[in-house]
Every structure is written in structure tokens, then in C-alpha cells.
Chain A
Amino acid sequence: MESVRKLVRGQWDAWLDRRIPARSRVTLTQKRIFILPTWMGMGYLLTTFLLFVAGVNYDNSMILNFSFFLGSLFVVSILQTFSNVSGMVISAGHTEPAFCGSEAKFVIHLEKSRKKEHHSIFCSWCGYQSKAYNLIQEQQVALVTLLPTQQRGRYRPGRFKLHSIYPFGLCQAWTWVDLDMFALVYPRPIECELNTTSRSDGEEGSHVVMEGQDDFAGLRAFNPSDSLKTVDWKAFARRNVLYTKQFQGYQAKSAWLRWNEIAVGDVERRLSGLCYWVLQFSKTNEPYGLELPGVTINPGVGKQHEENCLTALAEYRHG
């Protein structure tokens, strides 16, 4: 039984992959939209049928016409439900990484490609049910989903379902879209002991940390993102051009986080331990380096450095 289900599932997925291949930007056309009556739609059809029977049996032509009208309305509702989602463009937005066990954020952009409204669009993705999104006045909305993570690495949740029952709730139009999105899942940080020898390792003062605050290192062209405190105002007065002063610092000590120096056993536990220490060092703003089998990241500080280290941990493949 299980194998049959798997086979069917596999066939279905393969068919879907052919029909709606993974792309980062998908426009909904009739090829990609499925549509079926909802349970309410079934109830509505039953009502229509009952009224038809009543009209026939009471020989009442106006009740008959009433049921014809309800039937026509149902057909129109199929077209309108379809029309409500068609022409919508779905594109991949950014993703935010998560520590294993917490929720990763996936942003999907919905945008109009035609001069019409899209109402009450829902997204369900790996058990997550989004709130309703409307594209009425707005040209584009960002649909935010939070998906729980279970495994370190690149998390690819695969196809998600966008669906809507607007305007009548009698039919549901939906599509399965794969935007080829993934989010990084860092190891779950778990506190563990770190071999202290690693902390003294490394040559003292030999690492130059850019963007430090100790010594003046030179000038570079101003970027709008630079703090005004770092602008060389004297130079501005002289030459009417903005320059940013750059400083560098010398790190007295830098720590190394090494694969072998985590006390505990299996791969994931070690990565979790390293992750914990990366976060610890980042919190205290101490410079640290990371060494995994096959990967070495030189000591540094800052958000970018932390992210590099965490990415390395997330994408690490043992053996």
C-alpha cells in the first residue's frame, strides 16, 4: 500500500515538474492553474439540484428558472475564480536562515501583471497556512511564510500551494509552484566545552582586522552608507570632496574554533557545539577563526564574519 502511494506520488511529482518546472519567477496561466469545486460548492450544486427537482415536481417554471440561474452562477463562479488568480506573477523573494528547530522565513512576491485585482490569496507550504493576501490597490505584496526546520543544511521546502476561493467560495483555484528557493539552516547551538588551548593559539597581534577602531589606515571615497563621524571633514574643506577615514585594529589574541577540539562525539553534535561558540564569540565581539576538515575561515569579527562561519557550519559535509 505504502509503495503504491509512493509510486503515485512520484508520478504526480514528475508530472508536476514537467508541467510547472521550478523557476524563480512564474506567471500563472491556465496551464498552471487547477480548479475544482469546494465542499461548499458541492452543497451549492445540491441546492441547485433540489430546487430543480422542486421546480419540476411543482410544475413551477419560475423555480425551474431560479435553479437554472443558480447553475449559471456556478459556471460563472468557475470562470471568475480562475480569473482571480490568473495573470498573477509569483517570484522568489529573499530567505532568512534559521537555526535548526526554529522557523526559517521565506518571502514570496506576488505581483500583478494585468490591470485587475487579485483577492484573498492564501499560501500553504509544508503545513504552514498563511494569512490572506490581497492585490487590490497594491502592485506587489510580499507573502511571508515561516517554515519549521528539522535538519541542518540547505532547506528546500519544494512546491508550495497558492490557492484562493474568491469570489464565491464555490470553487478553489490553486497552483503548485516551485520557485527553487532554499534557506540555510544553521546547526542548533548546543552548549559544550571548548578546549582552552585553542584560545592561546595564533600569533599575537599578527592579524590585521579591517574596520577596526585603533589606528588610522588611510582614506577612501565616501559611500552614502558611511557614518558621518568617519568623514574627513578637513579634507572636505580643502578639496570639496567627501572622504571616509579608515581605521584598522590589531587583535591581541584570536581564538580558533577547531573541529577536533569539541569534546563530544558525532558530527551534528560537534557542529552544534561550534555553532554555540561562534555565537558566543560574536556576542563578546572577540575575534575567532573556524577550522573544519577542508574549510578554514581566518579569524575575524563582525556580522559578516559570523554569517560566513555559520554558513560554513550549515553547509558542512562530513567525509
Chain B
Amino acid sequence: MADSRHPPVFPMPRTAFVLLMVSVTLAVLPHVQRVPPWLLAVFGIVLVWRIQVFRQRLRFPPKWARLFMVCGGVLGVVYYHGTIFGPDAGVALLISAYLFKQLEMYTRRDAFLIIILSFFVLATEFLFSTSLFTSLYVFVVLVVITAALIALNMTDTSIALWRPMRAAFVTVLQAVPLLLVFFFLFPRIGPIWDLGMKSTIARTGLSDRMTPGDVADLSQSAKLAFRIEFEGEIPAPRDRYWRALIFDRFDGKTWSAQGDPQSIPFSPNRLNVNGEALRYRVLLEPTGNNWLPAMPWSQLSGVKHRTSNGLVHYAINVVDSAISYQVETFPDYQYETEGMPRDMWGVYTTLPPLGNARTYALAKDLYRRTGRNPERMTASILRWFNEERFIYTLKPPKLGSDSMDDFLFGTRKGFCAHYAGAFVFMMRAAGIPARMIGGYQGGEAHPIGKYLLVHQYDAHAWAEYWVNGKGWVRVDPTAAIAPERIEMGSLRDSLDELSLLDSPFSKMGLRNLPFMSELRLMIDYVDYLWFKNVVSFDSGVQHKLLQRILGEVTPQRIAMLLGVCGGVVVLGLGLWMVLSQRRLLELDLADKLYLRFQRKLSQAGLQRETGEGVMSFSLRVQQRFPDQSDTINKISCLYSNIKYSNRSEKRDTDKKLTSESDSIAALNQAIKNLKL
């Protein structure tokens, strides 16, 4: 079959091949949505080709074809993603390399390489999700890959599929105790170097640009944004404003948050804080951004971050995986009561000079009529929103080039960003510093766990304006139009089903069934516990744990603890392995009795030779002790009868079985009677 151009195929056991194919498929499966579609087509072709090679219907493609495919794969990925860096492109590259490796699986080493790559591809799944479901899936696939590895080293080709699976399962269970030791005690260190890769993972959630006029249909996602565990009582819905972004610039169409992170840092001198602190922990799902939602004014710990002058917090590293941080919030605070730096004043009062003339005029008129008082001006704007026929909708019509005029005097239909935007515009038009805040509002209190669920559909925009002597004041213009949006705590109930695009229940219309809602909350609770206890186990939590065990935490002590615990676990496992193996050659009763007989004789000076048969030994003994000849003969006959008569015949009936126990009793009696 094999000629010189086609090296001989490693005769992989069938079981190993099947398991390997299954592992490859399972490792790639969760990435299906992320890789370019053509890669999936290639995946199918490669898999079918490899199976045909195994069935000896096809050959491996020639070397030039494989080289061509690898180059094509790399170029294709680069073309699709525009880069080779970042998780998405990296995974796609890894998968394409992995697939083409399938087609040169000649040797055991190649097959082993496939296994190693499977581990990699599987592990990258955690870049995208660390939920309990993902973790369980990864665990199951790990068992399958381990089984493939075992099957690869099995040489008995007749072995059934379940055997390597069972062996792998046992092995994985054996690995768990040591895994726990590593998990709790292996020192967790922060990133050693900055990879400098901006994440390219596309996420739903807040964006740092908002163009209300363009969005004709705000798509709402039922995905979780973050969870919050409160140490005390959960505050009322109307107080739950989680600030994330400051939209400080407006170009006539789009609000953007580009300026703030680079601006001057937060200065403690300008802050006045009163009252009790609210303590809670935010368990943030990956955002692919840097912002860290928190209520104002907050101090964060447990995450490397900066706080800007706008009192929003930015993580130093992009939040690409779920993180958690501790927050201390003082709801009663004042910032910049005395004024703000000149350039910031400029930023917060700037508007595009052209267009929106009617809005300008209205704002200036209102400001004059309210006696140049920002607070009275705010009240009158809100009253105007409330009294005129403004409508809160998630499907607003598109706006023209003078978007503010179009909205305020034309369509009058919009969602939070429209109203917050219009408010900020009017304040700025009157010369009052104002800014739009993007974040989340409300959330759903979990009935079982003492925590709050904040979903993507809780994303919200509101406004802040500056009053001399009071600092920044929050105002939510949406509350003037749709107060239930703020009071209910969540937008979910006011949304229609179709706008929740990625909710698994929305398509089936099952969302409102109480049973499904409970199930959803239960699932979330388990996932929450998983995240809280496993995923967010970081160096801080570990340090606390070590402190409790060791007292003083030094590298030597950690190493010792790790060594002792690891050693105990490994030793225990080894001992268990040795002790659980039972000896094969267990003596039965007849053997024990016959050994007693032999001991008696050896005391009398007669040794049975190695290889001497029972009967010939018996003859020799009878010659030596003629007076005991009968007894000796009886013992030998009984013993050889028990041992060597046909076993299947003996086991046939109960009657025969009793006859065996009878003969053992007789043997016992005869040996006792033997007097030398």
C-alpha cells in the first residue's frame, strides 16, 4: 500500500481514532460562532478526509497540497480578522493549524501533537467564557481527550470503547485532589508582562460612542452584565445607578466618551463625603473594555484601576475575563463644589456651533426665565418633557441632521439616550456644565442569593450638571417620561419579547412562564456560586486563606505547605493504588490444610521436594511411616480430589458443593488425626 512518497500510516487502534476524532470535534465545537464560516467548511472536509484515510479509501494529501492549505488557512484568517493577534484570530489560527495537522497524522507523535493542540484549543474557550456551563463542558471534553490519549497507548486492538473512557474517568478523578491542592495553594501571581494586545472579542454591552439618532431599533440583550453582592440591604431601585462611562463630547450626532480616560485624575481635595458607606462586591462579566461600573462616589479595591476626574473607574487591563472587585460607596458626596479646572469647564460646556437653532433658542429662553438658576432650569426642562407629548420607546424613528431640533420639536419619541442627550444639550446651550453618563440602572434582586443581577438590558443613560456650591448633581430625564422605568428597577417587563435578541427563552415565548423564570434564576444562582468561589479565587482571596493557615505568609512557608499537602496527596494516592490491588493467588481452604500437613511432616524431618507430586510425596511418606499409611493416603486422596477433580462438574449442583465441604471437613479431621 505504502510507497516511498506516502509514508506508512501509523496503525492507530480504531478506538483511539474514534476518540481522537470526537475530541477534535468537541474541542472546536464551542468556537463555531467565532471562527470564519469557511473554516468550518474546511473542518468538515478535513474530518471526512481523515476518516476516509482511516478506512483506506483515500490517501493523505501530498505535501505541497498540505503546505498550500496551511498558507491558505493563515492568509484566510488574517483576511477575515484583519490581524493575527488577539483571542479571536489566535483561536482561528490555532484551529486551522490543528485541522491541517489532522491530514499528516502518520506517526504516534503526530497523534500526540493533535492531543496537545486539543488541550490548547479547549483551554482557549476560557478566554471567552468562564461560566459553570463552560467549565463543565471543558471538563467533559478533557475526559474524552484523556481517553484518546490512553487509547493511543493501548496495544490490544480488540479493546472496547468504554475501557479507555472508564480509565480516563478514573484518572481524572484521581487528579482532582492534587488539582485542589494546586488551586488553593499554588501562588497566584499577577501578569508578568503586558501582552499589549487589545482585545478583539466582540461583546455586547456599553459602547463608548452613542448615536441616538442613528439607532432606529435598540437591540436589547438579556445577557448578564454583572452581579452585585451587598453586605447590607440592597438599596431601592431608584438609587441604583452604576456609572461606567462619561459621554462628554457631542459632535451634533454622536456622544462619545473618548476624552475622559486621558483627562486629569481624580483629586481627593475636591471631594466632600458624608454619611455611612455602602459596601458591596461587583462580579463583572467580561466587557472587553476598561470601565468598571460603580455607584458614586466609590472606592474600589481588588482590581488595578485609575479613577478619573469624572469619578469613573478604569481598569488598567482590559476586562477580558470575569473579574470581581470590592466597592465602598458613599452615596452622600459632593465633588468640585468650588469649581473645576478651566479646560474641563470647556469640555463640559462645548457644543457644535452650527445647527439645532431652535433648541439653542429654547434653552436660552428657559435659562433666562428661571433666573439663571441651574436647578430651576432642570426642573422646568423635566416638566416640559413630562407635559409635552414625549414618548418613551425602544424603536424610535431616525433623526435628521439637526438631531436635537428634530427630536425635541419633531418626533418626540426616544429612549434614555435621547432624553439624557437632549437635557445635556440644553444645559450646555445655556452655559451650564453638563455631561451624559452611561451605565446601568436598576437590576433584579435574586430571590435566593443575596445579590443583584444586572443585565445588558439594564443599560441606561442619564445626565449630570454642575451647580456652584453643590458640585455635580445627577438627573435622570427618562424618569420624567417613563418613571416606571426607574421605579421598577428593571426594563425587562416593559420590553416586548422580540427586542430581546439573544434570550434563549424569548423565541419560544416561554419567558413569562413563572416556572421558566424560576429555572433561570436557579441556573444563575449556581453560576453565581461558581463564579464567586472558583473563578474569582485570586491572589487576594488566596492570601487571606494562607494567612489563616500559616499566620505569617512567607514564600518559604507557602512552598512548605504546598510541598506537604502535595506530598500527602500523592503519597495517599500511591498507597491507595498499591493497597487496592488484591493478591491474585489466594490460598483456598484445602491448600491451607495441606500446608498444615506439610508442616507436620517437615517437623518430623520429611520435606516435600519442589515439583514433587502430591501422590508420589504420599508414597514416600507412607514408606517412612508405614503405621500411618492409611491416614496419609486418605489425606492425599482427599486433597487431590478437592483440587483436581473437574471443577465445572463439581459446581454443578448444591449437592456436589456440600460434598466438597464434606471432604474439606474430612481432610481437616484426617490431618488432625495424623500422629507421627
Given A59-B191, A134-B156, A169-B153: A40 in contact with B178 (beta carbons within 8 A)? no
Q: Chain B nearest CB: distance from A73 CB in Å?
A: 5
CB distance from A163 to the nearest CB of B (A): 12
Residues in A neighbouring B192, C-beta threshold 8 A: 53, 56-57
Q: Chain B residues with Cβ under 8 A from A165's Cβ?
A: 153
- Interface set, chain B 57-99, CB cutoff 8 A to A: none
A 147-178 to B, binary, CB cutoff 8 A, 1 in contact else 0: 00000000000000000011111000000000
Stretch at the interface among A64-72, A188-196, A278-286: A64-72
A124 at the interface (CB under 8 A from B): no
Q: Known interface pairs A56-B191, A59-B191. Does A80 touch B182 (Cβ–Cβ under 8 Å)?
A: no
- Stretch of A96-104, A111-119, A294-302 contacting B (4+ beta carbons < 8 Å): A111-119
B481 lies within 8 A of chain A by Cβ: no
Choose among B154, B155, B534, B582 the residue with the greatest number of A CB atoms under 10 Å from its CB.
Answer: B155
A59 touches B577 (CB 8 A): no
Q: List 11 A-B contacts (CB under 8 A).
A: A40-B109, A43-B112, A54-B123, A57-B192, A58-B127, A59-B190, A61-B130, A66-B123, A167-B149, A167-B150, A169-B152
Q: What is the interface size of chain A, counting residues whose CB is below 8 A from a CB of the partner?
A: 50
Taking a contact as CB atoms closer than 8 A, the residue among A43, A53, A75, A80 that contacts B178 in the complex is A75
Query: Is the beta-carbon distance between B156 and A119 smaller than 8 angstroms?
Result: yes
Say how far A96's CB is from chain B's closest CB, in angstroms.
22
**CB-defined contacts of B195 to chain A, threshold 8 Å:** 57-58
Majority-rule SS of B interface residues: helix
Residues of B within 8 A of A (CB): 108-109, 112-113, 116, 119-120, 122-123, 126-127, 130, 134-135, 138, 142, 146, 149-150, 152-156, 159, 167, 171-172, 174-176, 178-179, 182-183, 186, 188-193, 195, 317, 320-321, 323, 534-538, 570, 573-574, 577-578, 581-585
A69-B142, A76-B171, A79-B570 as given contacts; A64 in contact with B179, CB under 8 Å? no
Q: Decide: A61 near B116, CB < 8 A? Known: A56-B189, A79-B577, A136-B156.
A: no
Q: Which of A33-66 contact B (CB under 8 A)?
A: 40, 43-44, 47, 51, 53-54, 56-66
Residue A289 at the chain B interface, CB threshold 8 Å: no
A120 is an interface residue with CB less than 8 A from chain B: yes
A83 adjacent to B119 (CB under 8 Å):
no
Contact of A114 among B175, B535, B584 (CB under 8 A): B584
- Interfacial chain B residues near A70, Cβ < 8 Å: 119
CB closest residue in chain B, given A167: B150
B150: contacting residue among A66, A71, A113, A168, CB under 8 A: A168
Q: Is the CB of B582 within 8 A of A62?
A: no
Nearest residue, chain A, Cβ from B164: A167
**Does B573 contact A79, Cβ atoms closer than 8 Å?**
yes
Is the C-beta of A87 less than 8 angstroms from some C-beta in chain B? Answer: yes
Instruction: Give A68 to B152 CA distance when docked, in angstroms.
Output: 23
- A114–B582 CB distance below 8 A: yes
Q: A71-B182, A166-B154 are in contact. Are A64 and B188 (CB under 8 A)?
A: yes
**A134→B155 contact, CB < 8 A:** yes
Residue of chain B at shortest CB distance from A46? B116
Chain A residues, Cβ within 8 Å of B108: 169
Alpha-carbon distance A54/B538, docked complex (angstroms): 15
A132 within 8 A of B: yes
A254 to B188, CA, bound (A): 90
Pick the contact of A167 from B122, B123, B167, B317 — CB < 8 Å? Answer: B167
Q: In whole Å, how far is B581's beta carbon from the nearest beta carbon of chain A?
A: 4
A51 and B186 in contact, given A69-B175, A136-B156 (Cβ under 8 angstroms): no
| Chain A residue nearest in CB terms to B123 | A66
Which residues of A are found within 8 Å of B320, using beta-carbon distances?
58-60
B179/A119 in contact, CB under 8 A: no
Chain A residues lying within 8 Å of B323, measured Cβ to Cβ, are 59
Query: A113 touches which one: B149, B317, B583 (CB < 8 A)?
Result: B583
Given known contacts A40-B109, A72-B179, A51 and B123 CB-to-CB distance under 8 angstroms: yes
Residue of A nearest to B117 (CB): A47
Q: Is the interface of A mostly helix, strand, loop or mixed?
A: helix
Given contacts A73-B172, A86-B578, A114-B583, 8 further A-B contacts (CB under 8 A): A40-B112, A59-B190, A60-B126, A72-B182, A75-B175, A76-B174, A83-B578, A114-B581
Contacts of A40 in B (CB 8 A): 109, 112
- Are B175 and A44 interface neighbours, CB within 8 A? no
Minimal Cβ-Cβ distance residue in B for A113: B584
Residues of B within 8 A of A58 (CB): 127, 191, 195, 320-321
CA distance A83 to B578 in the complex (A): 8
In the complex the two chains form, is B175's CB within 8 Å of A73's CB?
yes
Residue from A47, A65, A116, A119 within 8 A of B154 (CB atoms): A119
**Residues on A with beta carbons closer than 8 Å to the beta carbon of B122:** 66
Q: Which residue of B lies closest to A64 (CB)?
A: B188
Let me know if B577 and A72 touch, CB within 8 A. no
Chain B residues in 8 Å Cβ range of A77: 171
Report chain B residues within 8 Å CB of A75: 175, 178, 570
- With both beta carbons as reference points, the residue of chain B lying nearest to A78 in the complex is identified as B570
B303 CB, min distance to chain A CBs, angstroms: 10
Judge whether B175 and A72 touch: CB under 8 Å.
yes
Closest 4 A-B residue pairs measured CB to CB? Answer: A132-B155, A68-B182, A72-B178, A72-B175
Complex: A139 Cα to B578 Cα, angstroms: 19
**Per a CB cutoff under 8 Å, which of A51, A57, A87, A132 touches B581?**
A87
Contact between A73 and B155, CB atoms less than 8 A apart: no
Within 8 Å by CB of B585, from A47, A61, A62, A113, lies A113
**In the assembled complex, which residues on chain A have CB atoms less than 8 Å from the CB atom of B159?**
136
In the assembled complex, the CB of B302 is this many whole angstroms from the nearest CB of chain A, namely: 12
Docked pose: A191 CA to B126 CA in angstroms: 76
A64 to B306, CA, bound (A): 26
A60 / chain B contacts, CB cutoff of 8 Å: 126-127, 130, 320-321
Closest to B182 in A: A68
Q: Which one of B123, B172, B537, B574 lies within 8 Å of A61 (CB-CB)?
A: B537
Residues of chain A lying within 8 A (CB to CB) of residue B581: 83, 87, 114-116
B577 with A83: CB separation less than 8 A: yes
Taking CB atoms and an 8 Å cut-off, the chain A residues in 249-264 that contact chain B are none
Q: Which of B108, B195, B585 is most buried by chain A, counting CB atoms within 10 A of its CB?
A: B585
Determine which of A63, A87, A132, A169 lies in contact with B126 in the assembled complex, contact meaning CB atoms within 8 Å: A63
- Residues in B with CB closer than 8 Å to A59 are 190-191, 317, 320-321, 323
Specify which chain B residues have a CB less than 8 angstroms from the CB of A67 in the assembled complex: 123
Q: What's the Cα separation between A75 and B172 when bound, in Å?
A: 11
Mask of A6-49 contacts with B, CB within 8 angstroms, 1/0 = 00000000000000000000000000000000001001100100
Considering the complex, give the chain B residue whose CB is closest to the CB of A165: B153
Cβ contacts under 8 Å, A87 to chain B: 581
Whether A72 lies near B321 (C-beta < 8 A) is no
Residues of A within 8 A of B171 (CB): 73, 76-77, 80, 167
Q: A215: shortest Cβ distance to chain B, in Å?
A: 34
CB distance A62 to B321 under 8 Å?
yes
Q: Which residue of A64, A76, A112, A115 is within 8 Å of B573 (Cβ)?
A: A76
Closest-by-CB residue of B relative to A74 is B175
Task: Determine whether the beta carbon of A69 is less than 8 Å from that of B154.
Answer: no
Return A270 CB to nearest CB of chain B, in Å: 40
- Considering the chains assembled together, what is the distance between the CA atoms of A253 and B227 in angstroms? 109
Report how far A112 CA is from B537 CA in the complex, Å: 46
If A60-B126, A80-B171, A167-B171 touch, does A112 touch B584 (CB 8 Å cutoff)? yes
